[in-house]
């Protein structure tokens, strides 16, 4: 589907059209934000920051954790490093790691368990006596990639590219997600 901001016809892939009118478009589609933005016909590709996908996998650890708080190692490029989080039952989960990918892929390999164990042995030596199993993953939208300076996120109106009623939010992940209310207030101030 192609979209536009001037209230003119929108064309679906099947060729059908309909009218679309709006006062403002806020594009906050996570790792889909670039796809939404490029579907707006009047915008040049150079109007957007680069798009990178960082897959982060997690592993579960058997038994009750010996910690009552989160444990963070020294950050790594693209993330905070494989750290220990706790669920409401006091069980530990390790992750996420950072795997740069080109396409969405939500599979988690059991082979990650050994990597995660090694990453945590420095601050949790007894983890080698626990059963570690691959659990789940997520994909974080990034606007900076491997071997680049870190950029947290990007919020920009379309005024500089001829689309003043467009607000794009790119690369919204933590800390963007944990700042969601502040971001919402800021976006609201842009749309007035």
How far lies 59's CA from each of 1, 46, 64, 84, 117, in Å? 38, 38, 14, 10, 9
CATH 3.30.9.10 fits 52-142, yes or no: yes
pLDDT tens, 4-21? Answer: 555 555 566 677 776 667
Instruction: For the sheet with 154-158, list strands across it.
Output: 25-27, 163-170, 154-158
Q: Where in the chain is the domain with CATH 3.50.50.60?
A: 9-48+151-190
pLDDT tens, 145-182? Answer: 998 888 888 888 877 777 778 888 999 887 677 778 88
The pTM is what?
0.78
Summary mean pLDDT of the chain: 84
Q: Which residues contact residue 188 at a Cβ distance below 8 angstroms, ignoring those fewer than 6 apart?
A: none
Helix, strand, coil tally for the chain in percent (to 5)? 20, 35, 45
Q: Where in the chain is the domain with CATH 3.30.9.10?
A: 52-142
From the centroid of its chain, how far is CA 124? 28
CATH number of 9-48+151-190: 3.50.50.60
């Amino acid at each position: 589907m192609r979209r536009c901001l001037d209230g003119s016809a929108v064309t679906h892939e099947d060729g059908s059209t309909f009218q679309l009118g709006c006062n403002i478009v806020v594009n906050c589609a996570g790792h889909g934000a670039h796809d939404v933005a490029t579907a707006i016909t009047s915008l040049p590709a150079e109007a957007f920051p680069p798009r990178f996908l960082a897959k982060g996998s997690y592993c579960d650890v058997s038994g009750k954790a010996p910690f009552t708080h989160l444990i963070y190692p020294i950050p790594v490029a693209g993330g905070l490093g494989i750290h220990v989080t706790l669920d409401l039952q006091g069980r530990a989960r390790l992750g996420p790691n950072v795997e740069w990918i080109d396409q969405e892929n939500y599979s988690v390999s059991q082979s990650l368990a050994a990597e995660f164990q090694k990453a945590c042995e420095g601050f949790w030596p007894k983890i080698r006596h626990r059963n570690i199993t691959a659990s789940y993953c997520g994909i974080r939208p990034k606007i900076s990639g491997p071997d680049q300076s870190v950029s947290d996120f990007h919020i920009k109106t379309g005024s500089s590219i001829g689309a003043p009623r467009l607000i794009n939010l790119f690369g919204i992940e933590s800390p963007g997600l944990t700042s969601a209310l502040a971001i919402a207030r800021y976006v609201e101030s842009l749309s007035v």
